[in-house]
Chains A and B, each alone.
Chain A
């Protein structure tokens, strides 16, 4: 490869010197040159340092406090401590939305998305596991009996009071252990991811600046698209009946048993997708991102720039989602049209991010190796 590079370089040098003989550079051309030298390494560094790593750290501390709160509750079994755990669970649910777009490297190995948030929870499986006390959370059969959805189910329960939930825990050491095991499963996996970013994966990520399959940009865009897909389908479409001939499944919404913040999670998810697109940190610091890359390449979308088109579509999706009321399960049934309007905007966003953007950037996002011609 190196040899080819030198060869081509030579050819290009000849071409360049020929073209520069012809005319003197104008000011606008100098400007163009400055613009054209878009630094992909700096963009990837921004993603690592301003978004991915801080978001993992925030998720880690949220998980640690959730764990601490649960330890306190496991001691006291009091309703007050139960409520404290629930509050920490909500924080963790939110923080999870911010790391869900980074499923590459160690996160992909640990299958963070699937292990943390496969829903709806298989409540029968959870109950069976607790009853038997013998289970291995790492087997495929338990993928929907663990993680945040299991905690949501166990810490809220269905058709029961807070005291009722606390009493269930007080009466069942197995149940106490099960939640502790779910938490420790998550902690082990998340800690491994956080450690990998601290121990060299950042360098790998920032260093892989190509556009081929498996390049950092390819991974980032692929996961971004996957996340839009999850937002459209898992959070909204499936409960709304889009995959089931209009038969609705409100019980398939995220954080269904908490029954109060599923729309918030969808909003956080969409906000995070927009942040990734913009290269913007949680604190609002807007660094180099895909938007800047598109602009540097002067990508048009009809009469508008593609960047502006995408930003407008983010705005439209956010505006429609803002009209949906908590919880998602109730809105789906009672305000179907409002939810459907948000869904429609998400589909449009998906097309722009999945088709127009990668195609304009020449990024291979298909996650399957093969030759082209």
Chain B
């Protein structure tokens, strides 16, 4: 046992080449730059952060508000610049902090826009703050040669690999559920929707294809992170990564996520691969370099003591988060209590129609709210299936109608929700005044039970 721990310790601190981390830094920065420009070009800054009248903040982060139109655009431009700086390794540490803060700030404005891969980006950019990714092949190292180091302790690279591992593995674990494995849901719904595709269209309508995709997807997520860690399998594993993610980008509307995963997993390639890549880049830039000094970056004594511990803490936290749903009663997919921040991707076809009523407590008379008056289509869609958002919306409505002169009201909802092809049914108890509830981490007893 002791020898195992010792070996592990040695493995974690052993010096490795800095090239993989430098390549990762560039890949990350450029991909983020592209994502941000794409986001802006599609007009989403406006539709998601300027236009809405209501913002569904996260519990504990209610103080995070959007900045207004000019502010949001400036913020996105700054974010794009910081991504570019990260890629170039210019003012790296500051850029990494700026990127993390701005990106996470934007994500925290409205949970309507929550995506697992945004959470992933937040985590990676947070980790990057602490990694010496600018010590090799960067502008910073060029300008301040004292920074330069070609070898770094392994844990600086390992932490990224472990994070990628966790994303895949938990995504795979989440697929070990009856809907996914025994009913091939939601792929059984999503694949036939592409029946018009040339060549494979008809095949996509077959039931067995949905099962094959489900089982393959589950096995892929569970096995690929292990294969990536084995140098012998890295090449076939990477081919699988590419095929798998391109397939998902073909069938699902998931934006940059496939490309992010394909790009990020390149960190698993050998040192030699990354060193050669950088040499090629140098040659391309017309500055082929001779033999490098094998300079080792040694973190200061304080960092050396604290960083591995903090990283371990981060991993423990990451290991626990996806299991917090166990603390809640009821079906996770139905209540979504403990659903986010757990790498549950593509697991549900969930849709709903929610009628909200503002009721005068004295007379019992009520009016039905026109949701589209207050919510964007995306917000209405998300709110209609997510109980915590319903509470927030009820609070908004209560305040809104108070302004309009209606005092002493309660807000109730009649939400019909369908999950993975099941008939729609009522999600919340219509006798509950949602505006009187506070959203918090305690179980929501007013969610009607989900039973088969």
Q: Do A and B bind each other?
A: yes
Contact of B250 among A5, A246, A361 (CB under 8 A): A5
On whether A367 and B206 interact (CB within 8 A), knowing A11-B243, A242-B368, A355-B424, the answer reads no
On whether A373 and B116 interact (CB within 8 A), knowing A360-B189, A362-B190, the answer reads yes
Task: Kindly provide the distance from the CB of A110 to the nearest chain B CB, expressed in whole angstroms.
Answer: 21
On whether A211 and B193 interact (CB within 8 A), knowing A11-B243, A354-B353, A356-B423, the answer reads yes
Q: Which residues of A contact B (CB under 8 A)?
A: 1, 3-5, 7-9, 11-12, 15-16, 19, 33, 36-38, 40-41, 209-213, 233, 237, 242-246, 297, 299-302, 309, 347, 350-352, 354-356, 358-364, 366-373
- A119–B253 CA distance with the chains assembled, in angstroms: 38
Contact of A373 among B117, B192, B197, B421 (CB under 8 A): B117
Task: Kindly provide the distance from the CB of A274 to the nearest chain B CB, expressed in whole angstroms.
Answer: 19
CB-CB under 8 A from A4, the residues of chain B are 246-247, 249-250
Report if B336 contacts A (CB, 8 A). no
Interface residues of B in 90-126 (CB under 8 A from A): 113, 115-117
CB-CB under 8 A from B42, the residues of chain A are 369
Extra 9 A-B pairs, beta carbons < 8 Å, given A245-B363, A373-B116: A8-B247, A37-B195, A211-B193, A299-B421, A355-B418, A362-B186, A364-B253, A369-B43, A369-B44
Query: Mask for B52-68, Cβ within 8 A of A = 1, else 0?
Result: 00000000000000000
Q: Is the CB of B202 within 8 A of A36?
A: yes
CB-based nearest B residue for A15? B212
Contact of A356 among B256, B345, B381, B424 (CB under 8 A): B424
Q: Is the CB of A1 within 8 A of B250?
A: yes
- A327–B195 CA distance with the chains assembled, in angstroms: 46
Contact of B353 among A40, A351, A368 (CB under 8 A): A351
On whether A301 and B423 interact (CB within 8 A), knowing A210-B194, A362-B349, A371-B257, the answer reads yes
CB-CB under 8 A from A16, the residues of chain B are 203
Q: Is the CB of A5 within 8 A of B200?
A: yes
Q: Is the CB of A362 within 8 A of B378?
A: no
- A158–B258 CA distance with the chains assembled, in angstroms: 63
Interface residues of B in 222-246 (CB under 8 A from A): 243, 246
- A8–B346 CA distance with the chains assembled, in angstroms: 19
The total number of A-B Cβ pairs within 8 Å is 150
Report if B297 contacts A (CB, 8 A). no
- A301–B202 CA distance with the chains assembled, in angstroms: 24
CB-based nearest A residue for B256? A371
Which of B349, B355, B418 has the largest number of chain A CB atoms within 10 A?
B418
CB-CB under 8 A from B252, the residues of chain A are 372
CB-CB under 8 A from B212, the residues of chain A are 15
CB-based nearest B residue for A211? B193
Q: Is the CB of B378 within 8 A of A355?
A: no
On whether A245 and B367 interact (CB within 8 A), knowing A4-B249, A355-B424, A362-B349, the answer reads yes
CB-CB under 8 A from A302, the residues of chain B are 423
- A15–B253 CA distance with the chains assembled, in angstroms: 25
Q: Is the CB of B196 within 8 A of A351?
A: no
Q: Is the CB of A5 within 8 A of B206?
A: no
CB-CB under 8 A from A368, the residues of chain B are 47, 376-378
The 9 closest A-B CB pairs, nearest first, are A371-B255, A362-B193, A209-B196, A211-B193, A359-B351, A36-B205, A368-B377, A245-B365, A373-B115
Task: Kindly provide the distance from the CB of A372 to the nearest chain B CB, expressed in whole angstroms.
Answer: 5
Q: Is the CB of A243 within 8 A of B367?
A: yes
Q: Is the CB of A372 within 8 A of B254?
A: yes
Which of B202, B252, B353 has the largest number of chain A CB atoms within 10 A?
B353
Q: Which residues of B contact A (CB under 8 A)?
A: 42-44, 47-48, 113, 115-117, 186, 189-190, 192-200, 202-203, 205-206, 208-209, 212, 243, 246-247, 249-250, 252-257, 345-346, 349-353, 355, 360, 363, 365-370, 376-378, 381, 416-418, 421, 423-424
CB-based nearest B residue for A347? B355
CB-CB under 8 A from B47, the residues of chain A are 368-370
Q: Is the CB of A356 within 8 A of B418?
A: yes
Contact of A36 among B198, B206, B346 (CB under 8 A): B206
- A367–B380 CA distance with the chains assembled, in angstroms: 11
CB-CB under 8 A from B197, the residues of chain A are 5
CB-CB under 8 A from A33, the residues of chain B are 202
CB-based nearest B residue for A209? B196
- A355–B381 CA distance with the chains assembled, in angstroms: 10
On whether A370 and B203 interact (CB within 8 A), knowing A41-B196, A354-B353, A355-B351, the answer reads no
Q: Is the CB of B256 within 8 A of A362?
A: no
5 intermolecular pairs with C-beta atoms under 8 Å apart? A246-B366, A351-B353, A352-B424, A361-B189, A362-B190
CB-based nearest A residue for B38? A371
Task: Kindly provide the distance from the CB of B94 to the nearest chain A CB, expressed in whole angstroms.
Answer: 29
Which of A16, A19, A297, A368 has the largest number of chain B CB atoms within 10 A?
A368
CB-CB under 8 A from B192, the residues of chain A are 36, 297, 362
CB-based nearest B residue for A303? B423
- A210–B254 CA distance with the chains assembled, in angstroms: 16
Q: Is the CB of B209 within 8 A of A12?
A: yes
Contact of B368 among A9, A237, A356, A363 (CB under 8 A): A237
- A242–B116 CA distance with the chains assembled, in angstroms: 39
Q: Is the CB of A372 within 8 A of B203?
A: no
CB-CB under 8 A from A352, the residues of chain B are 424
- A9–B198 CA distance with the chains assembled, in angstroms: 9
CB-CB under 8 A from A309, the residues of chain B are 423
Q: Is the CB of A8 within 8 A of B250?
A: yes
- A189–B243 CA distance with the chains assembled, in angstroms: 49
- A246–B194 CA distance with the chains assembled, in angstroms: 45
Task: Kindly provide the distance from the CB of A187 to the nearest chain B CB, expressed in whole angstroms.
Answer: 30
